[in-house]
Structures are given as C-alpha cells and as structure tokens.
C-alpha cells in the first residue's frame, strides 16, 4: 500500500511538472508522448489584375468611400439620400478633414504634396454622389476617389481638373456597392 502511494505521489509530481502523460499498467508506469499533428488547408489561388483586388464574397460589409483632394480644392459631398457634408458640417459615419502634409509614394518624408482634404466613409450606400469642388487657387489638380464594394473588390477613380479660383467644379460619382467595378466618376471642366 505504501509503495502505491509513493508511486501515485511521484506520478502527480511528474504530471504537474509537464513531463508528459502517464498510464498505470500492471504496477508499472508507461510514458506516452503525444505526437503533434499539423493540419494544413491550402489557400485558394488569387490572381490580381495588377491594379484592383478581385471581388470576393464575404459575410462582412467592407464597403468604403475615400476621397482626397489638394488643400486648394476643398469640396462638399451630397449623398444619394440627400445628406450633405462639407468642411464645416458633421455627418454620422463620415468625416471630412484637412490633413497636414503627408508622405507620398516616394517616401514618408516627401511632403511635396502638401496638405490634402480627406473624406472617409465606411459602409456608403449605392447611388449618385455629387462632389462639388470650390478651388481657392487656379491650377490643375487631380482629386482621387477610392471605392470598395460590400463584398470585396475596389476601384481607384481619378479626374484631372483645370480650375479657376472661385469657380465651382462638380463631379458625379456613380457608386455600386454590390458591383464596385461598375462605379464611375463623371464630369470635366
């Protein structure tokens, strides 16, 4: 009886010290080691078209609207349902801010682009968005519109505009959140 209690005490010490699993068999202790198994699941092959991500069906809504414009081209946006946002107003779920000089594609310290107006909106509705630019300085500028669809896919839309200070310019964004590649930016000067 005393030897069994010593054996049990030794086993408890060994088990608690992480040395493995033990099994009692005919008054002997046999060590069993678990063999780890790695289960791999191959990822589906994704081919990119060089610019835009492929449309992928997801259960999440990843739709997104992002507009940037140089500091000299402040803008306002009217949503398909009539809501309105400019630099002096607020809109739930969206923001329009002047962002200080930021880095460019050439590096984070290249701030030659200067400050930019940035509209950030998650889960936008499909429809026609009216973007009105109010240039403060004459010149040629390229506002950029990035859209992502509800189930994936995206598109970069740009329009180069030659403008005069004080003369408004309007662009129309036709956005389709279900088929984002059908989205387009319309307008010229």
What is the C-alpha to C-alpha distance for residues 174 and 183, in angstroms, rounded to an integer?
A: 5
**Across the chain, what does the average pLDDT equal?**
77
Res. 130 pLDDT band, cuts 50 70 90: very high
Indicate if the pLDDT at residue 20 is higher than 50. Answer: no
Q: Domain boundaries in the chain?
A: 2-32, 64-186
Q: Is the pLDDT score of 151 beyond 70?
A: yes
Has this prediction a pTM greater than 0.75? Answer: no
The answer to whether 171 and 187 are in contact (CB under 8 A) is: yes
33-77 tens-digit pLDDT? 555 566 666 655 655 555 555 555 556 788 999 999 999 999 999
Predicted local distance difference test score (pLDDT) of residue 45: 60
| 173 vs 189: CA distance, rounded Å | 15
As beta bridge partners, residue 138 has: none
- Give the pLDDT confidence score for residue 23 in this predicted structure: 45
Cα 157 from Cα 184, distance rounded (Å): 7
Backbone dihedral region of 13: left (phi > 0), alpha (psi from -120 to 50 degrees) or beta? alpha
Question: Does residue 145 contact residue 94 with C-beta atoms inside 8 Å?
Answer: no
Task: Provide the β-strand partners of residue 186.
Answer: 172
């Amino acid at each position: 009886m005393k030897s069994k209690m010593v054996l049990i005490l030794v086993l408890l010490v060994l088990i608690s010290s992480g040395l493995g699993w033990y099994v009692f068999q005919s008054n002997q202790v046999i060590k069993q080691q678990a063999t780890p198994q790695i289960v791999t699941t191959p990822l589906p092959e994704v081919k990119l078209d060089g610019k835009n991500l492929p449309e992928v069906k997801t259960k999440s809504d990843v739709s997104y609207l992002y507009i940037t414009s140089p500091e000299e081209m402040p803008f306002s946006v009217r949503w398909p349902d009539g809501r309105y946002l400019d630099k002096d107003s607020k809109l739930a779920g969206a923001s329009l801010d002047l962002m200080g000089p930021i880095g460019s594609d050439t590096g984070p310290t290249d701030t030659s682009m200067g400050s930019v107006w940035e509209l950030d909106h998650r889960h936008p509705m499909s429809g026609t968005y009216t973007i009105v630019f109010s240039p403060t300085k004459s010149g040629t500028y390229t506002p950029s519109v990035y859209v992502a669809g509800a189930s994936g896919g995206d598109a970069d839309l740009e329009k180069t505009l030659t403008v005069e200070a004080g003369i408004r310019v309007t662009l129309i964004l036709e956005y389709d959140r279900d088929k984002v590649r059908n989205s387009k930016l319309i307008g010229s000067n």
